[in-house]
Chains A and B, each alone.
Chain A
């Protein structure tokens, strides 16, 4: 049979790649370019003034800091939740499984209002926390609570399928070799889950950085204290300061991109041979 050179078993490479690139371009890249183009309309001095005023810097700290801590917090609890859902049969498992997706599905404003109601001074939790000196609503702690809430499904849903695929023989092998349950978890299960955990963390983090709806209700939005960057952007837009808004957006974009890239590098690091 005369074989054509460069023949690929998987058909349609050119077509599908072309379509994918065009699609990505229209949906993702062009809007982003437009963003930078808008921001580029500012002079360097104005740009710096827009993106590096103390109030804005405080909002970066809160947004990225709270997002990072929320995603970090979601890792152990998300893994535990996934573990429970995968490993055990119990009545109501399906319901719990469905509940995990709720933060995905809920309009974020609804989540924000609900959380505020609970953590406010006279709310269900707030009335007990307040006497202990813990204020959640209208503080940066509240921001963190909201971001934790919306980030949880990302960790659970990335870890869950990997955990389901994990062969039980691996743990049995570890057990016959004399490893305790803890050793088997630390040295066998956790490394197998690591890529999924990192992905879940990155997704939860990225989502949290861009979160707006649920945060603004619980945050109180006091400048320098509980004001997140997305809110600043919206404020600027309301004042018809489009350039200032795009400048802020560009900085956020770079910040998020940098962090996602960092996660990728960590992944790469662990994927190298001999990295136990």
Chain B
């Protein structure tokens, strides 16, 4: 079932949680709402679920939530057919795992309620799906965090929701379990193909898991796109800074003189280091630290012209070859630079010393209007 949010605003007192947000989620997609805390992502999720209601809007068509083209703005949470997984799972502590999962079925009006054996069969099926076959008789307190999470998921799935919503699904888990759960959720989604929206503040999680990433900031949507789109073609300084590591450098000084931009962004893996004087287009920098543990080496450098610090990611072989010493001077060359002159998006390449404006079709087609 597709989800559409039309120009939804939400205020809590003087605080603006959502300032006129519109979004479309296609059927069967796995979508991430990504943003820092306070960006409105959880509020948006709760509005989709019907746990929160949009501010009343003056003009018709605004402040609406549509499921499959049908306005559900005034429909209560229980009638929307949404599965919701809470950040802290909200399992019913006095019920066993099986009773928790069966809850959604047992509260149905009698004529819609499946018979007991049918409920038991469904519960077993779901326990198998979330790989907790043996634990149906346990209480939530007797489970680990990852297991509780899967119970919460099974409970939400029991009512065969058309839409699955997850609030920070891995937020309360430790790093190792989080990775496992991530790939498990991905494979589960591939099996069930339920339209799924999850909230996260972890960019790695969003990029790795989602078909589509919705980047949110300060009650607005900054950008919507595939993980590759938002990573490779960010539409705003916020998006490039929020997604992945990036160096933010003062432009206009030294040899980097792009038109109309004060700041340029370079991903650490787009920085090339060389011994010697380098070309006329490279930056002179001093090596501050070299970290060589990990899948690639990380070098922290200091610009000689203005003292700014920046990072380079260098392949391990290349790092060994260079054999950089602390305090040594090197030439740094940027393969790709990103500028946001006067709020415009374009890509630049300084390998040959020229900043070439990227063709306009490189810009993502659905940015967030005035915010770019």
Contacts and interface: CB of A to CB of B under 8 A. Distances in A.
A188 interface: yes
Interface string B45-75: 0000111000000000000000000000000
A176 B92 contact: no
Interface string B113-157: 000000000000000000000000111000000000000000110
A9 interface: no
A17 interface: no
B231 interface: no
B99 A179 contact: no
A89 interface: no
Given A179-B107, A187-B107, A169 B90 contact: yes
B96 A177 contact: no
Leading 6 A-B pairs by shortest Cβ distance: A177-B104, A169-B90, A173-B90, A179-B107, A178-B78, A176-B84
Given A167-B88, A172-B51, A177 B155 contact: yes
A273 B135 CA distance: 13
A178 B94 contact: no
A183 interface: yes
B94 A275 contact: yes
Contact of A183 (B84, B107, B155): B107
12 contacts: A167-B88, A169-B86, A172-B51, A172-B86, A173-B91, A176-B78, A176-B156, A177-B104, A178-B104, A179-B103, A179-B107, A274-B96
The A interface, classified by DSSP as helix, strand, loop or mixed, is: helix
Interface residues of B, number: 31
Contacts of B92: 170, 173-174, 187-188, 191
Contacts, number: 77
The B interface, classified by DSSP as helix, strand, loop or mixed, is: loop
A180 interface: yes
A179 B77 CA distance: 10
B165 to A, nearest CB: 8
Interface residues of A, number: 22
Contacts of B91: 173
B319 interface: no
B94 A176 contact: no
Interface in A144-174: 167, 169-170, 172-174
Contact of A169 (B88, B95, B108): B88
Contacts of A276: 94-96, 99
Nearest to A183: B107
